[in-house]
Amino acid sequence: MIDLPPQAGTEELIAMARPPYADGFFPLGAGWTAVFWAVAGIVSAAILIYNSPRMRRRREAFNCLKSARRAFFDTGDVSGLAARVSVLLRRAALHRFGRTRTAGLTGRDWTDFLQDTGARLNEEDVFLLENQAFAPSDAENDLRRGRHFLVSARKWLEKNL
């Protein structure tokens, strides 16, 4: 129960029954309305950027690279890694640089193109892309051979997608 003061007038009784903010939160003042619309605009822009075709392509490419990496570390199959990453790099290059510039490239021309567009491939990576990607799987589990190749592919994708 509420204790009423003994000499309470009508206005005092109404003030006790009324909430401290008669209008609640709305309508907001002009400053809070501007803050609300600014936050709403930033959230909308972030959602549009996240769902844009470019960002969706990047996420798909990095998910493919992540699955190739996981399969490589599970099995140690360098040929399988080279094949998966080669297909991924080819798809990304076709999208980024167009069919006329990249579709006919094979072997040394393909690795030279990747190096010209920002890939930092060492001799082992070039060998993996030129020869090992199309070779049958070998039984050796040499994780060292694929680690630099994965890093190089990731950096190239980050730069070109």
The whole domain housing 44 covers 10-50
Contact criterion met (CB below 8 Å) for 156 and 97? no
**Is residue 44 located within the same domain as residue 110?**
no
Q: Are 137 and 80 in contact, with CB atoms under 8 Å apart?
A: yes
Q: Please tell me whether residues 18 and 60 are part of one structural domain.
A: no
Mean pLDDT for the chain?
A: 86
Give mean pLDDT, residues 55-81: 93
Q: For the chain, what is the domain count?
A: 2
- As to burial, measured by CB atoms within 10 angstroms (0-12 exposed, 13-18 middle, 19+ buried), residue 82 is buried
Q: Whole-prediction pTM value? A: 0.73
77-121: pLDDT as tens digits: 888 899 999 999 999 999 999 999 998 898 899 999 999 998 999
Of residues 98 and 9, which shows the higher confidence score? 98
Whether 136 is covered by a domain: the verdict is yes
Share of the chain above pLDDT 90, in %: 52
Q: How many CA atoms lie within 13 A of 16 on its CB side?
A: 11
pLDDT of residue 4: 63
Name the nearest CA neighbour of 127 among 147, 113, 141, 107.
Answer: 107
Contact by Cβ (8 Å): 157, 114: no
| 124: in domain | yes
Domain presence at residue 31: yes
Q: Are residues 33 and 77 in the same domain?
A: no
Domain membership of residue 1 (yes or no) is: no
Percent of the chain topping pLDDT 70: 85
Q: 21 pLDDT exceeds 80?
A: no
Do 32 and 108 share a domain, yes or no? no
Residue 4 lies in a domain: no
Q: Let me know if residue 45 belongs to a domain.
A: yes
38 domain-assigned: yes
**What single DSSP character describes residue 25?**
T
**Residue 120 included in any domain:** yes
Pair 64, 111: CB distance under 8 Å: no
The answer to whether residues 43 and 15 belong to one domain is yes
Of 12-21, 129-138, 148-157, highest mean pLDDT: 148-157
Considering the domain architecture, whether residues 60 and 45 belong to the same structural domain is answered as no
